[in-house]
């Protein structure tokens, strides 16, 4: 009986000690990881400030294939929201609350039923490139168990920091040519063309465009109309869940109008001020250049004033090396 009392007193003492120590443990925990990438800060910055780019490097999505994301709010920067559901990791959301161009991004994390946290990404130019630091802060840790869990947060998060930052480094360095496209401001002059307007789902675009260009080329050969340059395509609407509305066209040496009721229409490429981007590589990666151009337009406080179009400089039938393919992209702006 005496032994039981002694054991009871020891257990009570341990509990009291546990509770007393918990009082002095911090209610706020900060942990972080860093890496240096051989690329300018803006390359990695754009990968972080647009949640849709996280699939390129995020350790969470690679570790949990059941994650499903929904994007809301702004497309990038302050106000951008990513909500997720997961069988293994639970549900939650992340919102960009602050963004200082090329230097810092802050997000608010909400884990359904588990509390909140703040994620901070800083970008510092160094001689070797850019030092990226990814930090996580958790405030108002519950007493006493939450505070004890805070002691282990660093060791729990370290593998995620290392994996995510390495993924980000590898992606930025291996795609730096496409992530830093040649973007310039140009003034366009009138240019006549023939065009066919149609629509297709994203997986059918290549086939549909081939049919459209074939029809125009056949008509031009029949009418002995001279071609003035590489083919282009105007994108009137784009949504991966709906048919893309597009206009496939071929520029002409001189203006001409086809017969009425013909599927082929006369068209003039837009004139005036435009932003020009040069994409190198596969066509299906051109979204990277489009994103960079949107960022450029936003930073310059410009306004898009029409539909974008792409000019396919390289003929795939003559150049099999996709890394050498060149596509010019234009956005008319005010």
Q: What region, left, alpha or beta, does residue 108 occupy, with left being phi > 0 and alpha being psi -120 to 50 degrees?
A: beta
Provide the pLDDT for residue 28: 60
HEC per residue, 33-61: EEEEECCCHHHHHHHHHCHHHHHHCCHHH
Exposure string for 41-70, b = 16+ CB within 10 A, e = fewer: bbbbbbbbbbbebbebbbbebeeeeebebe
Q: 27-179: which CATH number, 3.60.70.12, 3.90.550.10, 3.30.530.20, 3.30.1360.20? A: 3.30.530.20
C-alpha distances in angstroms, 233 versus 199, 239, 249? Answer: 12, 16, 6
272-316 pLDDT per residue, tens: 999 999 998 888 878 878 888 888 898 888 999 999 999 999 998
> What is the percentage of the chain residues whose pLDDT exceeds 90?
48
Domains in the chain: boundaries: 27-179, 182-332
Q: In CATH, which superfamily holds the domain spanning 182-332?
A: Regulatory factor, effector binding domain (3.20.80.10)
Reported as type and span, the H/E element at residue 238 is none
CB atoms within 10 A of CB 178: 17
- pLDDT by residue, tens only, the chain of 334 residues: 566 666 555 555 454 443 454 444 444 677 889 999 999 898 899 899 999 999 899 988 776 788 899 999 988 889 999 999 988 778 999 999 999 988 999 999 887 866 688 899 999 999 999 999 999 887 655 444 444 454 445 556 678 889 999 999 999 998 876 677 789 999 999 899 999 999 999 889 889 999 999 999 999 999 999 999 999 999 999 887 889 899 999 999 988 887 776 789 999 998 999 999 999 888 887 887 888 888 889 888 899 999 999 999 999 889 988 888 999 999 999 9
């Amino acid at each position: 009986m005496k032994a039981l009392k002694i054991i009871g007193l020891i257990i009570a003492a341990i509990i009291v000690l546990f509770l007393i120590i918990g009082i002095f443990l911090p209610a706020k925990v900060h942990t972080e990881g860093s890496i240096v990438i051989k690329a300018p800060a803006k390359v990695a910055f754009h990968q972080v400030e647009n949640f849709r780019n996280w699939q390129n490097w995020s350790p969470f999505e690679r570790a949990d294939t059941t994650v499903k994301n929904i994007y809301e709010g702004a497309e990038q920067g302050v106000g951008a929201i990513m909500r997720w559901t997961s069988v293994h990791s639970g549900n939650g959301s992340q919102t960009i609350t602050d963004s200082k161009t090329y230097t810092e991004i802050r997000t608010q994390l909400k884990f359904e039923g588990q509390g909140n946290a703040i994620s901070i990404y800083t970008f510092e130019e160094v001689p070797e490139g850019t030092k990226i630091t990814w930090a996580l802060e958790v405030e108002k840790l519950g007493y006493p168990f939450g505070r004890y869990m805070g002691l282990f947060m660093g060791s729990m998060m370290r593998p995620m920091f290392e994996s995510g930052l390495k993924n980000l480094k590898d992606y930025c360095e291996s795609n730096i040519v496409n992530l830093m496209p040649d973007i310039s401001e140009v003034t366009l002059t009138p240019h006549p063309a023939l065009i066919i307007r149609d629509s297709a789902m994203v997986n059918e675009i290549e086939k549909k465009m081939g049919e459209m260009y074939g029809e125009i080329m056949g008509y031009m050969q029949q009418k002995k109309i001279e071609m003035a340059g590489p083919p282009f395509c105007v994108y009137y609407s784009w949504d991966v869940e709906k048919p893309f509305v597009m206009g496939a066209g071929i520029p002409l040496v001189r203006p001409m109008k086809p017969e009425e009721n013909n599927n082929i229409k006369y068209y003039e490429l837009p004139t005036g001020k435009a932003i020009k981007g040069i994409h190198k590589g596969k066509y299906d990666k051109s979204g990277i250049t489009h994103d960079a151009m949107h960022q450029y337009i936003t930073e310059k406080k410009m306004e898009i004033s029409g539909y974008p179009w792409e000019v396919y400089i390289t003929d795939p039938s003559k150049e099999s090396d996709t890394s050498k393919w060149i596509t010019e992209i234009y956005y008319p702006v005010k």
